[in-house]
Amino acid sequence: MKTITRKNRQTGTRVSVIHGDDLGAEVQPGTIVWYTVCEEHGQICGHATKDVATGFAAEPLTWCEVCIAVLNVLTNSEVAR
């Protein structure tokens, strides 16, 4: 297993960087090889390299739709106060 899981500072959710082999995905070099997974919401985003995937793992707010939606709810409730 090459999975790396870290708790994200922005969202408090656990985000994993996973190689396509470990996801059972079809891995073709030069295309999508690494994936970021929001463990809390099951959202998956594919990337060409581990470096890119690691970068995205630090920012689930750019690719996990549920994290984005949760943040929007929190932001809106603060505005509504």
The window from 18-26, 29-37, 57-65, 71-79 that contacts Zn ion (CB under 5 A) reads: 57-65
Nearer to Zn ion, 27 or 54 (CB): 54
Q: Which residues lie across from 44 on neighbouring strands?
A: 37
Which residues are paired to 37 by β-bridges?
16, 44
Cβ nearer to Zn ion, comparing 44 with 66: 66
Rounded to the nearest 10°, the torsion over CA 43, 70, 10, 60 is 20
Site for Zn ion contains 64 (CB under 5 A): yes
The backbone torsions φ and ψ at residue 30, rounded to the nearest 5 degrees and listed phi first, read: 90, -10
Q: Which stretch binds Zn ion (CB under 5 A): 17-25, 26-34, 44-52, 58-66?
A: 58-66
